[in-house]
Chains A and B, each alone.
Chain A
């Protein structure tokens, strides 16, 4: 009788396991994450100006120069971001071209073209970080190279700065 009871208990346990195998369920978790930041605004604050240039005489504007180009950037305080420039290879006046190149750049968290970081605007991306108040300033300089027979006129081109987190 005692043996029979033991056997019954074991068989019941077996049957119980078999029943639980009919539908087996298991779960796992992952986490959905996001980081919300302020939008970035970029303002062309100062035009890059070469003033009067003369045929056959190259002229440069340094990033520290009074007529260097400047972009003012606002974004998430202390957040890292990247600068990317689209640069013209010529300034144009109608059908006439004035070559421009040797671009230089400087980025800073204050409006100062000397105490930040120099970079090459023609490189793919330039990393930087916003200030604790979400500000940054990017300065650009370049060199124009008029030909000896450069046609007189007013030459312009567009420099575009794209900033991304």
Chain B
């Protein structure tokens, strides 16, 4: 292999490595309402340390990122039953893990942009509200919540 070609491979490797490290993301905890009673709405606040949903992602300080959720309008239950789930203006919190990081509350229904200033690792917490009908079929309900992060 010619030295010139090796140099180009080195250039490629040097370019690919930081690109792949710019964004990692994972879901850490389900949004769990637990037992809810027929006819009684139940809420989980994003600051709930047990029931709130939690994601985390790691990017690069100095980058602008956008968080967007794909939120289900209902949870799916036994034999086709569904139960409404809703999200409000203060149902999401993003917080860096640096000591100087400040938690930011935002509306998970609309995409939100942040500049990563103090922390490259961000925790995102999600709350919500379910509204079982008075004759809601009993049993377990669930659906998927997706968080998409874009690094600009």
Chain A residues close to B by CB (< 8 Å): 3, 6-7, 10-11, 13-14, 17-18, 20-40, 76, 79, 165
Instruction: Pick the residue among A7, A21, A30, A38 that contacts B19 (CB under 8 A).
Output: A21
Ranked 6 nearest A-B pairs via Cβ: A34-B33, A30-B27, A32-B31, A27-B148, A165-B35, A28-B27
Q: Which residues of B contact A37 (CB under 8 A)?
A: 35-38, 138
B69: shortest Cβ distance to chain A, in Å? 10
Pick the interface stretch among B53-61, B92-100, B115-123. B53-61
Closest to B151 in A: A24
Closest to B72 in A: A32
| CB interface residues, B 115-152, toward A, < 8 Å | 126, 128, 130, 132, 136-152
Are A32 and B145 in touch, CB under 8 angstroms?
yes
Q: Which residues of A contact B32 (CB under 8 A)?
A: 32-34
Closest to B152 in A: A23
Q: Does B110 contact A (CB under 8 A)?
A: no
With an 8 Å Cβ cutoff, the count of chain B residues facing the other chain is 60
Are B19 and A17 in touch, CB under 8 angstroms?
yes
Chain B residues close to A by CB (< 8 Å): 2, 4-5, 8-9, 11-12, 15-16, 19, 22-40, 42, 53-55, 57, 72, 75, 77, 83, 85, 126, 128, 130, 132, 136-152
Interface of A is mostly: mixed
Q: Which residues of A contact B11 (CB under 8 A)?
A: 14
Instruction: Pick the residue among B23, B31, B35, B85 that contacts A30 (CB under 8 A).
Output: B31
* Complex-state Cα separation, A33 to B136, whole angstroms: 15
Are A28 and B152 in touch, CB under 8 angstroms?
no
Are A32 and B143 also in contact (CB < 8 A) when A14-B11, A23-B150 are?
Answer: yes
Q: Which residues of B contact A14 (CB under 8 A)?
A: 8, 11-12, 15
Q: List 27 A-B contacts (CB under 8 A).
A: A7-B8, A17-B15, A25-B149, A25-B151, A27-B25, A27-B148, A28-B57, A29-B145, A30-B29, A32-B30, A32-B31, A32-B33, A32-B53, A32-B143, A33-B141, A34-B35, A34-B42, A36-B38, A36-B132, A36-B139, A37-B37, A37-B38, A39-B38, A39-B39, A39-B40, A79-B35, A165-B35
Are B30 and A30 in touch, CB under 8 angstroms?
yes
